[in-house]
Amino acid sequence: MAMPLDGAPASSGPERTVDVLVGTVRLPGYLTVPEPARGLVVFAHAGGGSRSNGGNRMITEHLGTLGLATLLNDLLTGEEAEDDLLVFDVGMLADRLLATVSWARAQPELSGLPLGFLATGSGTGAALMAAADLGDGIRAVVSRSGRPNLAGCWLEQVRAPTLLVVGGLDHELFELNLAAQSRLRCRNAFEVVPGASEGFDEPGALEALSKLAGRWFLFNFTPRGDASAFRRRPRRRSASPSPGAADGGRLLRR
């Protein structure tokens, strides 16, 4: 059982449906708040249907066991998600993510909690842009199979510790994330889950991602976050580590 900062045991809270209003657009989501909560993780997904995605729900459940509140919603409506121009409009997505953060901060049970983003795809570009805008108002960013390059010149302005995670079978995103990492000026790390594709659909892949994300958030939500367990250079993480393996990790050599 997770131990929150005050040493009291955490218990998973019930999931409930919420509506985040961005102008005239309603973005439904699922909010889960453990008691007590150690921080808030807001998902940043551009495509529709992330709320009903089994993988995302599994990640929220794992984060909940660590005492982390989660807000899982889409940054686009189902109709908007059919338009590729909107899916890759990271400026608009970043604005909606910032509006989501404003909504969360207005909720008494979430106010004051350390904030983090968990992003994927073009949502990673939007999350990094929003993180740059928030400055010290966000503690950590985790990207899974993301497109950090879409953040453009905002990459150099991100201050929140950023973890990039890609699947070992996704060679294109590996190179893209490696190039984007070289432009980050914040504390950062790059992890590779071998045998995982872009969707992390393979057995054990999402479990490995969930553990990486949970550790990154906890390290950076505490006053003296220690990311020494992570490496700046990309490292392999086994989706199904063998017994006795130390996290299944080894440094990738280039």
Domain boundary assignment for the chain: 15-251
- Cα separation, 179 vs 181, in Å, equals 5
Burial of 109 per CB tally in 10 Å (0-12, 13-18, 19+):
middle
Percentage of the chain lying above the pLDDT 90 cut: 70
Tens of pLDDT, residue by residue over 42-93, are 999 987 656 556 678 899 999 999 999 999 988 999 899 999 999 999 999 9
Alpha helices in the chain (DSSP H): 54-65, 84-87, 90-105, 122-134, 171-181, 205-221
Please tell me the predicted confidence (pLDDT) of residue 247.
Answer: 34
Enter the pTM of the model. Answer: 0.84
Q: How far apart are the first and last CA of the chain?
A: 39
Is a pLDDT exceeding 50 seen at residue 197? Answer: yes
pLDDT at 9 over 80: no
> Element (H or E) spanning 167, and its range?
strand 162-167
* DSSP assignment letter at 8: P
Distance separating alpha carbons of residues 166 and 236, to the nearest angstrom: 10
Question: Rounded CA gap, 52 and 97, in Å?
Answer: 19
C-alpha 38: how far from chain center: 16
In order of 166, 174, 205, 250, the CA distances from 238 in angstroms are: 12, 16, 8, 9
More confident: 67 or 2: 67
Give per-residue pLDDT as tens, 203-238.
Answer: 999 999 999 999 999 999 987 655 554 555 566 544
Q: Which of 7-11, 53-57, 184-188 has the highest mean pLDDT?
A: 184-188
Angle at 140 between CA 125 and CA 142, to 5 degrees: 50
Q: State the alpha helices, DSSP H only, in 10-121.
A: 54-65, 84-87, 90-105
Contact partners, residue 243, CB within 8 Å, separation at least 6? none
The top-level CATH class assigned to 15-251 is alpha beta
Start-end of H helices in 182-204: none
Amino acid at 252: L
Q: What is the pLDDT of residue 52?
A: 56
Q: How many CB atoms lie within 10 A of CB 161?
A: 24
> SS3 for 1?
coil
Of the ranges 112-121, 165-174, 236-245, which one carries the lowest mean pLDDT score? 236-245
Q: List pLDDT tens digits, range 127-136.
A: 999 999 999 9
